[in-house]
Amino acid sequence: MTDPAAARGALGTARLMLLFTPELSGERDPLEALALALPHVDVVQVRVKSERADAVSPARALAEWTERVLELVARAPESPLVLVNDRVDVAAALAPRGVHGVHLGDRDTPPSEARALLGDDALIGLSTHSAADVARAFDAPVDYLGFGPIFPTATKGYDRGVGPEAAWVAHEAAPIPLFPIGGITPSNSGELEHVGRACVGAAILAAPDPAAAAAAIRAALAR
């Protein structure tokens, strides 16, 4: 999908964003897990947690994994949006290959700088963790928000979450799509049905059946 209007339209109706972190797939090939989950996913955000053992730079590792994801997505009947995590330079370099934009943490490149570098067509997401963060993001040049952690999550090292009610309040206040994130699983995703969106990583990639896990979360969000 290269049409910016179509990409924003797809983002607006998206329910399930997969935080594709290869390190979370365990012994399974990460791309195999992605391929299984892909029919149930609207957005793939590529994130690489650590450098490879052969000392490839984080940017290079992210670019290489993103290229593999793009190749897989290109063969899918319904191609999801593809974003990269943190690295504006990687998003810019791979935009001609089909990357739609970047997701920024609160300590990453400021959204205004990312917008200036990527242009008006790119999708830009921003992590938020509180109602105050969401309010501050209203004037930022971003297309969607991540919000959380909703539940405790070992992936990010949070032993407490803000809770699904906080996600609902943030969702109601935000003028753009908001994706709750953190500790979301098939068993608790129904608590986010009033939001209708989620960003999920380990609960899908590390599941015995990634397709079933993704389908269950999506169904719970759509209730």
Three-state SS string across the chain, please? CCCHHHHHHHHHHCCEEEEECHHHHCCCCHHHHHHHHHHHCCEEEECCCCCCCCCCCHHHHHHHHHHHHHHHHHCCCCCCEEEEECCHHHHHHHHHHCCCEEEECCCCCCHHHHHHHHCCCCEEEEEECCHHHHHHHHHCCCCEEEECCCCCECCCCECCCCCHHHHHHHHHHCCCCEEEECCCCCCCHHHHCCCCCEEECHHHHCCCCHHHHHHHHHHHHCC
pLDDT band at residue 106, thresholds of 50, 70 and 90?
A: confident
Residues 6+ apart with CB under 8 A from 152: 158, 159, 160, 161, 182, 183
How large is the average pLDDT for residues 68-85?
96
Residue 101: half-sphere exposure toward Cβ, Cα within 13 Å: 27
15-24, 39-48, 159-168, 181-190: which has the minimum mean pLDDT?
159-168
The model's pLDDT over 178-195, given as tens digits with 9 standing for 90+, comes to: 999 999 999 999 999 999
pLDDT in tens, 123-164: 999 999 999 999 999 999 999 999 999 999 766 556 689 999
Domains in the chain, number: 1
- In this predicted structure, the answer to whether residue 1 has a pLDDT above a threshold of 90 is no
What is the value of pTM for the model shown? Answer: 0.95
Domain range for 10: 4-221
pLDDT at 53 over 50: no
CATH number at residue 151: 3.20.20.70
